[in-house]
Structure 1
Amino acid sequence: MSDEPVDDREVEGPTEPREGPDGRPPAAADGETPSLETDGEGVVGDRHSPEPTYPDSDDDIGGISTPPDDEEMPLADHIEEMVLRLAVVLLFGAGGTAIGLLGASQAIEYVWFSVFPAGGNAPPPHLYNPLELWLTRIKISSLLGIMVALPAFVYECYLFMRPGLYPNERKYYLAAVPTSVVLAAGGMLFSYVLVLPILFEYFTYYAEGSAEIAYALGETFNLIITLTGFLAIVFQIPLFIMLAIMMGVTTRRWLAQKRLYFWAAFAGLSFMFTIDPTMMAPILVAVTMILLFEGTLLVLKWVGRE
């Protein structure tokens, strides 16, 4: 071993980087890569990073924004407003029903002789319990009450939902609701003018020569009201298809490719909600639903909407 002293530079440990007056390492010379202090996972030399900022809740971020008239309200206020608007609708419905009771007997007679075959062959109605006539009067009057309350219901629903709707949603709503009312009226008229006369003509003559049918007033009007209301809903099919295509939920081409599935669904719904042992009413309703579906697709193809 040499006795010569070792150079001081050989025994000195690694020099620590000097810090500047601000606590940071000195800047590197020109052309050199600055040395960064790390902890093995990332750079930690700069400890003075600014605090993260978050956007305001009312800003439009990625297309998500609040409606212009949307305001936060306590739940109790929402419930109170909803109850008041429903009370207005019920008031209109009760008023229409009360007015309908004044001419309920004449309305029953008019409907009865309209849906049965013409030529004076309409069978007389039969009563099988003491309250059947009064219950039938209330049912036929309720139809007028529903017709009066429906526009009020639509308008009150719009006023209740308006603050939470975007401008384009308001446009769709205002366009769809009157169309829905018109289609419902068309479905009821279609039932009264075409479906019910065909159905009761079949009922009257299918047992001719074998038995005499005695029509109960209450059961007959139950079928009339059920079928009329169901066809009012069925006539909404074109509107549902148009809205689904306009909102990008589906396409006309896809609906056309899956038409057999829709036909089967229409048949199932008609047999489920139109109870008739002779199977005549469900068949008429199913055929009507299929024709509305195919007619809507044909119109969409004609206007070039795929």
Structure 2
Amino acid sequence: MAEEPDGGRDRNHDWEGLAPAVRPADGADRGREWDDLTPAVRRVDDAAGTAGPRVTRDDEWRDLTPAVERVEPDDGDEWDWDEDAIAAAGGSADPASGGEPELLADEEHQADDPDEDAALDPRENSVVDAEENPAPPDDGIGLDAPESDVEEPLAVHVEEMVKRLAIVIAIAALVSVAVFPLTEGLITTIWNYVLPGGEAVDPRVYQPLELVITQVKVASLAGLVIALPVFVYESYAFMRPGLYKHERRYYLAAVPTSLVLAVLGVLFAYLLVLPYTMDYFQGYTEGTADVAFALGSTFNLILMVMGYLAVVFQIPLFMMLAIMLGVTTRQWLEDRRLLFWAAFAGISFTFGAIDPTGVVPIIVALTMIALFEGTLALLRWTGN
């Protein structure tokens, strides 16, 4: 490449932005300006006595990184090598030897094994080509929004939410219809296990449609249990465009977990809570009146407790999701545990009209507190 003439050109202007890493020096100040250069390479102007550096075109400097400013290529004889330093490193600085001069890395980045140099992280090299080593993609933990997150009008989100809730309701209805033929057997099984005396206590029917309505309620409970994990999945599908990959994994894992917890809640009510509650109710009136258990009102209490505990048993899942998604922390929940206890008690006694004695609300409130504290204890034990 031919050099441009010097006339009318301010050479110093072209070299003002050069980093001190590599800079052709004036022959008179060569010793002073090159003191801090590494022994890898030192370049001087081909004419040691000329005043100022070589002139290069501006467009050749446009894309240079600030780490090393490159100058116009020259012949090999225009490079001045620190022969002692290069020879000590095992290299050759003589261009006449027939090979290209070898650029050596400084001690911080020079590996003992030459093969290891190629495996170094590009960010550790002296010169990094941004095009050959692009920045790694966002891992979804930073502040940038997910790639699939697109802003849409509020009406679009509301419409999608309504559609997904309709899916949940439709699945619950289908399950209820499918279970309805089995409800008579379920009613008999639940009645005999929960009530004191079992088969000796006959249910009383005081309305013509009381049995049918009770069957519908039992079938609806089955639909509720199945609809809980469907609701979790549909909420995930609704929020999926705004979730990172690790958040999506959490939600997908929550779908089967929600079903398991709902079944555990129903079994807890069926095996423990309801038998003791019914025994207490019968003992409360013993000696005063003979208890005649009406089918409709009795199953209202049974199904209410079962459905309530199926939802209550989702507390550990909601706590885990909130912590994993960064909404809250274990320490924050522990610091406000008394507020949560009060909230659980208030929610439980909201249904006190169904049980004026307060037994069921107290049992439900204690269950909620136990699940809350048990989840915190599990998180402390696992170190999360």
TM-score norm. by structure 2 comes to 0.56
Q: Which residue of 2 aligns with 1:69?
A: 148
Q: Does 1:138 align with 2:216?
A: yes
Structure 1 CA distance for aligned equivalents of residues 347 and 271 of structure 2:
22
Q: Counterpart amino acid of 1:287? A: L
Describe the shift of the 1:291–1:210 C-alpha distance in structure 2 as closer, same or farther (beyond 3 A).
same
- Per-residue Cα deviation, 1:22-48 (whole angstroms, up to 9, x for no partner): xxxxxxxxxxxxxxxxxxxxxxxxxxx
Corresponding position of 1:295:
374
Alignment of 1:264-279 (within 5 A): 264-274=342-352, 275-279=354-358
Matched residue, 2:306: 228
Amino acid at match of 1:131: L
Q: 1:166: which partner in 2? A: 244
Q: Post-superposition shift, 1:189?
A: 1.2
Q: Distance in 1 between matches of 2:324 and 2:230?
A: 27
In the alignment, which residue of structure 2 is the partner of 1:45? Answer: none
Residue deviations 1:186-234, cap 9 Å, x none?
A: 1111111111111111112221111111222111111112111111222
Structure-2 residue corresponding to 1:9: none
CA-to-partner distance for each residue in 1:234-273, whole Å, 9 max, x for gaps?
Answer: 2122223333333444443444444333333222221113
SS in 1 for 2:293: coil
Aligned to 1:96, which of 158, 175, 185? 175
- Paired residue for 1:115? 194
Distance in 2 between the 1:264 and 1:76 partners?
37
List per-residue Cα deviations over 1:110-146 (Å, max 9, x = no partner).
111121135645x222222222111111111112233
Counterpart-to-counterpart distance in 2, 1:249 and 1:156: 20
Gaps of 5+ in 1: 1-58
Distance in 2 of aligned mates of 1:232 and 1:157: 18
Paired residue type of 2:278: F
1:174 and 1:114 mapped to 2: Cα distance?
Answer: 36
Aligned residues: CA RMSD: 3.0
Q: Please, which of 277, 292, 316 is the counterpart of residue 214 of structure 1? A: 292
Count of residue pairs the alignment pairs up: 245
**Local SS of the residue matching 2:285:** coil
The CA distance in 2 between the partners of 1:253 and 1:264, in whole Å, is: 18
For the residue of structure 2 that corresponds to 1:273, the secondary structure is: coil
| Higher mean displacement: 152-161 or 134-143 | 152-161
Structure 2 segments unaligned to the other structure (5+ residues): 1-137
User: d(CA) in 2 for partners of 1:135 and 1:296?
Assistant: 38
2:342 alignment partner AA: A
Query: Which of 94-103 and 156-165 deviates more?
Result: 156-165
Change (3 A) 1:204 1:177: same
Distance 1:287 1:200 in 2: 18
- Larger Cα-atom Rg: 2
Q: In 1, distance between residues paired with 2:312 and 2:349? A: 13
Q: Partners of 1:83 and 1:254 in 2: how far apart?
A: 33
- AA matched with 2:344: F
User: How many angstroms apart in 1 are the aligned matches of 2:335 and 2:158?
Assistant: 44
Instruction: Tell me which of the two structures has the higher relative contact order, counting C-alpha pairs closer than 8 angstroms and 6 or more residues apart.
Output: 1
Partner of 1:183: 261
More divergent stretch after superposition (239-248 vs 270-279): 239-248
Counterpart-to-counterpart distance in 2, 1:228 and 1:117: 18
Mapped pair 1:243 → 2:321: yes
CA distance in 2, matches of 1:265, 1:77: 34
Taking a change above 3 Å as real, the CA distance of residues 271 and 246 of structure 1, as seen in their structure-2 partners, is: same
